[in-house]
Amino acid sequence: MNIMIVDDELISRKKLSIILQAYGKCFEFSDGASALEFYKNAVKENTQIGLITLDIDMPKLTGIETLGLIRDLQKAQNVPASNRPKVFMVTSMNDQKNLMNSLTQGCSDYIVKPFDEEKIIDKLHNHLLI
Q: Which domain holds residue 11?
A: 2-126
95-123 pLDDT tens trace: 999 999 999 999 999 999 999 999 999 99
The domain tally of the chain equals 1
pTM comes to: 0.96
Distance CA 4, CA 7 (A): 10
CATH at residue 100? 3.40.50.2300
Residue 24 backbone class (left: φ over 0; alpha: ψ -120 to 50; beta: rest) = left
SS3 content of the chain, % helix, strand, coil (to 5): 45, 20, 35
8-21 pLDDT tens trace: 999 999 999 999 99
